[in-house]
Amino acid sequence: MKAKDIMTKEVLTVSLDTSVKKVAELLADYEISGAPVLDEHEKVIGIVTESDLIEQKKKLHLPTVVTLFESVLFLERPQKIKREIEKMIGATVKDIYSKKVITITEDTSLEDIATIMSEKKVHLLPVLRGEELVGIVGKADVVKALAKS
């Protein structure tokens, strides 16, 4: 069994300027866990998931600091703290989406899909034909396929 056999072909997508509120409404209304983010040329540039929305509402983790000889040393990278703040105050997909998106092709096997999801800890895999988005495979699709086989 391959991705083309189990993928959802009608994919809900969002753009960078879609509001966070709208994303939350869409995910809830369509009962899905995320959506690919497309640029102005309809190319997949990322993904926004329930986890991104939940992370936006978490409390800010204050960095651990050490004082040494009257100097303050931060034990976390400033970029990480900056990213956390940006996500918390984010108003659009641009502020909260994951830029590192793992994609598959229509011919990716069910076993490879399960391996990717397990090892990379992702639950949604956009399916591409070249650079064109043609579907999406979620963990529910994999479970259904396993139940049928």
Average pLDDT over residues 33-48: 96
Task: Look at residue 91 in the predicted model and tell me its pLDDT.
Answer: 80
Return the higher-pLDDT residue of 70 and 7: 7
pLDDT higher than 80, residue 74: no
- Give the predicted TM-score (pTM) of the model: 0.76
Helices (H), 71-122: 78-89, 93-96, 110-120
52 band by pLDDT with thresholds 50, 70 and 90: confident
Nearest in space to 39 (alpha carbons), one of 15, 63, 13, 69: 15
pLDDT higher than 80, residue 112: yes
DSSP strand E in 33-76: where? Answer: 34-38, 44-49, 65-68, 71-74
CATH number of the 3-148 domain: 3.10.580.10
Looking at every residue in the chain, the average pLDDT score rounds to: 85
Task: Look at residue 8 in the predicted model and tell me its pLDDT.
Answer: 96
